[in-house]
């Protein structure tokens, strides 16, 4: 009886571990799909749906396994060890030679889903020798679900932020491998002639996993490098995003999730319109809020105004602001702005910060990534701009980066009408940034109307401010737009309950870019 109980608990422990491994495998593949294919909502939905469907198929296929269930289970665990452990390496490796990484990711989702789907029925049937049906079903499912919970916690708080996509998959591979070994050791007497084959398979899988762990970093570094035309000098997957810095000659490019954020070659052509337009209209501003801007370049421009007493910079990712404070190429570019005594850095969600902060600001500068996901679109919503409106002082001004007015015209217009819906009188502006193309911003005021703001912008002087590009001559044209490249119909206001902006952005005319 004691042996039966211990056997049953070992099987449940195995299922707990594989439940953990299975859910993390889903998250790894969904993250890879988002990174390589974009549109996080679509990719997470498709990857998880495909894997769940494949799990159903795996469960159905298990009915054809009528004998040697222990051998089948151990074999499935060995296969899962390879599939999960090498999933990221395979995707990054393929990225170096082909653009069809999506096919591989979805194929891995199907294969891993099939194997996961086989596990529960096999363990349930094996465990039927040790427990009654009533206890068997409930306890087996219970352990699998508990493992899934721990897997989610592990991926969110340990795997992605600390191990990254390099080593997290190998944790999964080793988990399945150890499960297979434990089950083999405990039940080896029941495996008969299959013991030798399973020993050989186990040794082979063990060698492959060790080799994969040893060579994972250079393989992924190679795959990462193929995504960028210049040399990758920094790469880190944080809890929130993938940050990459590349170098060409003496200049550096900063990328977040594969999208360029700045280049030291011309970043002032972006940051000067972002900052000096609102600061020029309100040169005596004392308290400035920067949302995003972890590279420090926007803060550098604000610090040129001696009347500024405090700059609060809110950026979700502490790794991004750490780069702005410590990564020498960025520190040199932002002139140490993030280490200035006037600058206070808060690593928190911008929406939550605005909800909780009690003070008001004269200027709000929003320097966030493009709204290509629902998560980012929330920071371009009417609800978000309503909070900004409430936190601005009487004569306060706001400006947000708004993407390309020509390649993503609907998204650009959507941000404009959304800010208007929150009560702002808005003025769209734009400039040619060499490495980004034509770029746009939306400036908003609480009381002065659009025409007056436009007139003031066109007559701004920067005689006492050191700039590299912006001057009075540039201000005469910054509010002038030519015809749209694509015909734009009426756009809706972007709201949290109706997140239209990210769809407008993804529907942009990017083939002309």
Query: Which residues does the annotation mark as catalytic?
Result: 367
Strand duo 287-292 + 251-256: pairing: unpaired
Give the DSSP H/E element, type plus range, for residue 442.
Answer: strand 437-445
φ, ψ of residue 25 to 5 degrees: the values are: -60, -40
What whole-number distance in Å separates Cα of residue 215 and Cα of residue 209? 10
CA 430 distance to own-chain centroid: 27
Residue 26 near residue 46 (C-beta atoms within 8 A)? no
d(CA 512, CA 492): 24
**Among the listed residues 347, 346, 351, the one whose alpha carbon sits nearest the alpha carbon of residue 378:** 351
Do 292 and 367 meet the contact criterion of CB atoms below 8 Å apart? Answer: yes
Residue 370: DSSP 8-state: -
Exposed, middle or buried by CB within 10 Å (0-12, 13-18, 19+), for 29?
A: buried
- Measured in degrees and rounded to the nearest 5, phi and psi for residue 243 equal -105, 125
Residue 131 three-state SS? coil
- What is 206-260 written as a DSSP string? HHHHHHHHHHHHHHHHHHHHHT-SSEEEEEEE-SS-EEEEEEETTEEEEEETTEE
SS3 of 327, please? coil
Spatial distance between the Cα atoms of 68 and 280, rounded to a whole number of angstroms: 78
DSSP 461: -
Sheet holding 242-248, edge to edge: 231-237, 242-248, 251-256, 259-263
CA dist 320 and 461 (Å) reads 33
For CA atoms 296, 297, 300, 304, the dihedral sign is negative
Residue 317 near residue 240, CB atoms below 8 Å: yes
- Contact present, 417 and 488 (Cβ < 8 Å): no
Distance (Å, whole) CA 55 – CA 327: 45
Residue 435, Cα to own-chain centre: how many angstroms?
22
Task: List the helix and strand counts (H, then E) for the chain.
Answer: 19, 11
Contact criterion met (CB below 8 Å) for 311 and 351: no
Cα 74 from Cα 179, distance rounded (Å): 8
């Amino acid at each position: 009886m004691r042996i039966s109980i211990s056997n049953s608990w070992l099987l449940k422990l195995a299922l707990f571990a594989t439940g953990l491994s299975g859910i993390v495998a889903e998250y790894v593949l969904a993250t890879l799909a988002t990174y390589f294919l974009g549109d996080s909502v679509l990719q997470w939905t498709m990857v998880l749906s495909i894997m769940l469907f494949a799990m159903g198929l795996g469960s159905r296929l298990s009915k054809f396994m009528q004998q040697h269930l222990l051998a089948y289970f151990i074999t499935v665990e060995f296969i899962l060890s390879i599939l999960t452990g090498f999933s990221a390496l395979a995707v990054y490796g393929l990225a170096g030679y082909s653009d069809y990484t999506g096919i591989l990711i979805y194929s891995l989702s199907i294969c891993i889903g099939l194997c996961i789907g086989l596990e529960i029925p096999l363990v349930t049937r094996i465990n039927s020798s040790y427990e009654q049906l009533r206890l068997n079903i409930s306890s087996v499912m219970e352990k699998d679900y508990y493992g899934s919970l721990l897997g989610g916690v592990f991926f969110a708080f340990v795997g992605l932020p600390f191990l990254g996509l390099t080593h997290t998959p190998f944790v999964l591979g080793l988990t399945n491998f150890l499960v297979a070994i434990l089950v083999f050791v405990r039940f080896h007497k029941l495996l008969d002639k299959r013991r030798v084959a399973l020993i050989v398979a186990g040794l082979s899988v063990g060698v492959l996993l060790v080799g994969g762990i040893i060579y994972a970093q250079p393989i992924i570094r190679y795959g990462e490098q193929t995504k960028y035309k210049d040399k990758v000098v920094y790469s880190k997957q944080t809890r929130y995003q993938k940050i990459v810095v590349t170098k060409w000659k003496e200049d550096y490019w900063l990328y977040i999730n594969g999208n360029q954020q700045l280049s030291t070659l011309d970043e002032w052509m972006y940051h000067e319109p972002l900052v000096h337009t609102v600061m020029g209209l309100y040169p005596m501003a004392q308290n400035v809020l920067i949302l995003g801007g972890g590279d420090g370049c926007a803060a550098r421009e604000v610090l040129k105004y001696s009347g500024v007493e405090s700059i609060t910079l809110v950026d979700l990712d502490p790794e991004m602001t750490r780069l702005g404070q410590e990564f020498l190429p960025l520190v040199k570019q932002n002139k140490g702005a993030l280490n200035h005594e006037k600058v206070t850095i808060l690593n928190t969600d911008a929406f939550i910060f605005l909800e909780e902060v009690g003070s008001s600001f004269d200027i709000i500068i929003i320097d966030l990534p493009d709204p290509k996901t629902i998560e980012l679109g929330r920071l371009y919503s009417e609800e978000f701009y309503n909070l900004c409106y409430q936190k601005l002082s009487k004569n306060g001004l706001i400006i947000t980066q708004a993407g390309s007015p020509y390649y993503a015209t609907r998204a650009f217009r959507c941000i404009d009408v959304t800010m208007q819906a929150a009560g702002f009188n808005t003025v769209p502006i734009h400039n040619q940034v060499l490495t980004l193309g034509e770029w746009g911003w939306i400036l908003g005021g609480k009381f002065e109307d659009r025409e007056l703001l436009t007139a003031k912008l066109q007559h701004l002087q920067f005689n006492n401010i050191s700039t590299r590009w912006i001057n009075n001559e540039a201000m005469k044209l910054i509010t002038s737009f030519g015809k749209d490249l694509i015909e734009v119909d009426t756009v809706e206001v972007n709201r949290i309950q109706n997140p239209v902006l990210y769809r407008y952005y993804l529907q942009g005319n990017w083939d002309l870019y």
